[in-house]
Structure 1
Amino acid sequence: MKIAIVGTGFVADYYMTTLRNHPELVLAGAWDRDAARLKEFCAFHGVSAYPDLETLLGDPEVRIVANLTTPESHYEISRRGLGAGKHVYCEKPLAMGFEQAQELIAMARQQGLTLAAAPANGLSDAHELVAQALRDNKIGRPRLVYAAMEDGPVFRDKWATWRSRSGAVWPGLHEFEVGCTLEHAGYALSWLVSLFGPVESVTAFAALTFPDKGPGTGALVMAPDFSVGCLQFRSGLVARLSSGLAAPRDRSLQVFGDGGSITVRDLWDNRSAVHLEQADAPRPLLGRVLTRLEARLGAALPWKPAPGIRLKYPDGARPALPAFPSQIDFAGGIAAQAQAIAAGQEPVFSGALALHITELALALNGARDLPQPYRMRSSF
């Protein structure tokens, strides 16, 4: 299936790195409003450049448009793609407002098209490993989840020097304007809703805690750099999700059930370490030894292993993944969409599910201006 890329900024290189995992996808070309950046991207990757967006959208061979533009452009580019009769795969969020995202989903449905949304980490091997453990009732009924999308104090790093493989500048100032919640909460939300179903309400708090993020940030109107939300699921499960740009890096997920717990070390890792602790199983020797050592010392140790045993992945080929900072098969989301289209099915992270994830991210990011608890308007 032929695809085309709109937007050749920093994240586009992650898609190009992982496109090789999916030979069923054929990249027809790319376009960007920044002509210099488009030329640099196409030269590095050996990709054809479209002269303008109209030509790209008018290419009859292109079935899927990958919308990798900046968040405030997502709505307009996706709307134009759908209007041209193309299926669209959109980076997160679908739009900067719920009504716009709702409009796009309705438009796709009316035209018999699919609108799928990133992130693709909800399609990872780690996700399937956890889903299988839950299906096998390894920890009984899940009751509580702790999830984190803490990216560390990025603004204190030398982010102005960061470049993608093909030379794109990491858009730090723009990321601070959009905010860490809209940029990153989706990586946890995609796991949460696909594992545990729809959310009924969210009680959230968001704040701008570090208004001075260094040179160039003084004149910015910045989004919250910290948010925390408690999600009440229709099933009765409760989840806590925090997102931030100051606390030490933590992209973990812990599920607590009647009969034990599951711990995922890194939601950005396709094959993250996943540990299972069952309430009626003996604790691993190392954990018991360290607990006794703490009692003898009268102090908590700075490090202890994840509780339980590490689950094994089935043998299989390892996909090509970005080297840093994530190990996500970005193009896997487009491939899943293409496979669903070919089979006449709805892609997993599309339609009502994509709208639900978008609404959750917007509710967390906009917690300062919304009544609490926030009652979800979407479901799936």
Structure 2
Amino acid sequence: MSGIGSGPVGVAIVGSGVISKDYLKNLTQCPDVVVVGVADLDVARAAGVAAEFGVPHAGDTASILARDDVEIVVNLTIPAAHGEVARAALAAGKHVFGEKPLVTEVEDGEKLVAEAAEQGLRIGCAPDTVLGAGIQSAVRAVGSGVIGTPVAATTAMQTAGPDLWHPSPEFLFQRGAGPLFDMGPYYLTALVSLFGSARRVAATARQARAERVVATGPKAGTRFAVEVPTHVNALIEFTSGPSASSTFSFDTTARRMLVEIAGTEGTLSVPNPGSFDGALKVFEPGADEWRDLPVAGTTLGRGTGVVEMARAIRAGRPHRASGDLALHVLEMMTAMTSSAESGEFVTLRSDVARPEPLSADWDPREATLY
């Protein structure tokens, strides 16, 4: 992959919903990228968000994609629109960094990644939380042998559901979302970052209620249909040897976010993969309590992967939050869905290299491309 251009990388945001403000707040702090435009179906909303963060241009998607100063399109649309917007960006000659999941179907993801490669363009994808201090410190700890050889992991993401706090939660219960596709990428991407590719998966799934009720905001009291399972239990076998048991639930009143890795020489308590920081602890043989391990790295937040991708473009090296990684995680999730329906293990077709960990002093707020 050869480097292209020089200096800061021009970025445009497509989709000016709630999450766009997190990206804009962070990306406007990073001198290696410059946000030049915001696009949305609602052009007035795009203009308002652009003005709030000092972004010079706003408009519809086509007008922003036509800009020569845009190199990376950050795709923050709803999951059902991820593929359409990404393909339009590639057709305009732009690299794409998208919110998770990559798309909703593996076949569409394979075509998207292949199309980008054919055009010499890149696909990046959230979650970039795995590039934060918490997960990167865990990756470095496992690599240094803190717990010996990893044997197994236990993960859990359990809440009562986003219908209790999100003002428009309907899309989180539609195809391409639910606890598995909405929150699963955080945990599964962390596991792949720690262990490498998964070989096969199995799962069970259920839906507790056919309808949910919006609990807050202007739509409070509105009932809506649930289209996907809201509680999934999965088993994962990794090619490198370890296995994992994982729970993803919107049906649990007791909130729980857990990642633990058992090794031959201890157990590692990993920070919440939905955040960029957190406590890292080890329980060693003969110990009476957990011991804190150092946590170092960036805590910038959403957009970290965009900056890392921008630097990789200029350097001509692979970026870490890649389309191949997101595609493998997507296949893991769709295989879990298939397994829940068939009652059988599903072997994965894709394979991906474990991303190299970032150095402890890597900082997206530094200027490196001037």
Alignment partner, residue 294 of structure 2: 312
Q: Does 1:173 align with 2:170?
A: yes
Q: Output aligned runs, 1:119-268, within 5 Å.
A: 119-155=127-163, 157-160=164-167, 171-177=168-174, 178-214=177-213, 218-247=223-252, 248-268=254-274
More strand by share: 2
Determine the structure 2 residue equivalent to 1:111. 119
**TM-score normalized by the length of structure 1:** 0.83
Q: What is the identity, as a one-letter code, of the residue corresponding to 2:250? A: L
SS in 2 for 1:182: helix
What secondary structure is seen at the aligned counterpart in 1 of 2:58? coil
| Distance in structure 2 (CA, Å) of the matches to 1:269 and 1:94 | 19
Once the two structures are superposed, what CA deviation does each residue of 1:260-315 show, in whole Å capped at 9, x if it has no partner?
Answer: 100024222322111111114x324xxxxxxxxxxxxxxxxxxxxxxx2011235x
Letter matched to residue 169 of structure 2: G
- Overall identity of the aligned pairs, in %: 30
> Is the aligned partner of 1:15 residue 2:23?
yes
User: Deviations along 1:140-171, whole A, 9 cap, x unmatched?
Assistant: 1111101122233433x3533xxxxxxxxxx3
The 5 Å alignment of 1:15-94 reads 15-94=23-102
- Runs of 5+ consecutive residues of structure 1 not aligned to the other structure: 161-170, 285-307, 321-328
Deviation at 1:237, TM superposition (A): 0.8
Q: Give the aligned length.
A: 335
Q: Is the 8 A contact 1:29 1:49 kept in 2?
A: yes
Deviation at 1:19, TM superposition (A): 1.7
Structure 2 distance, partners of 1:224, 1:184, is 13
Question: Residues 336, 365 of structure 1: CA spacing in aligned structure 2 closer, same or farther, 3 A cutoff?
Answer: farther
CA distance in 2, matches of 1:370, 1:335: 41
User: Equivalences for 1:346-357 in 2 at 5 Å?
Assistant: 346-357=318-329
Q: Secondary structure of 1:104's match?
A: helix
Q: CA RMSD in A?
A: 1.9
CA drift at 1:219: 5.0
Cα distance in 1, alignment partners of residues 169 and 207 from structure 2: 16
Q: Aligned with 1:38: secondary structure? A: helix
| Structure (1 or 2) with the larger CA radius of gyration | 1
AA at the equivalent of 2:49 = F
Q: How far does the alpha carbon of each residue in 1:199-227 deviate from its partner, in whole angstroms, 9 at most, with x for none?
A: 11010112211223225765525211111
CA distance 1:349–1:197, shift in 2 (3 Å): same
Write out the 4+ residue segments of structure 1 that deviate beyond 4 Å after TM superposition.
215-219
Name the amino acid aligned to 2:172. E
Is the partner of 2:328 in helix, strand or coil? helix
Between 64-73 and 43-52, report the one with greater CA deviation.
43-52
Cα shift readout 1:56-106 (whole Å, capped 9, x = no counterpart): 112111110000000000001111111111110011111111100000110
Tell me which amino acid in the other structure corresponds to 1:347: H
The CA deviation at 1:319 is 4.4
- Check 1:257–1:229 CA distance in 2 against 1; reply closer, same or farther (3 A cut): same
Partners of 1:7 and 1:68 within 8 A in 2: yes
- Compared CA separation, residues 370 and 13, structure 1 to 2 (3 A): farther
What is the distance in 2 between the residues matched to 1:126 and 1:158?
26
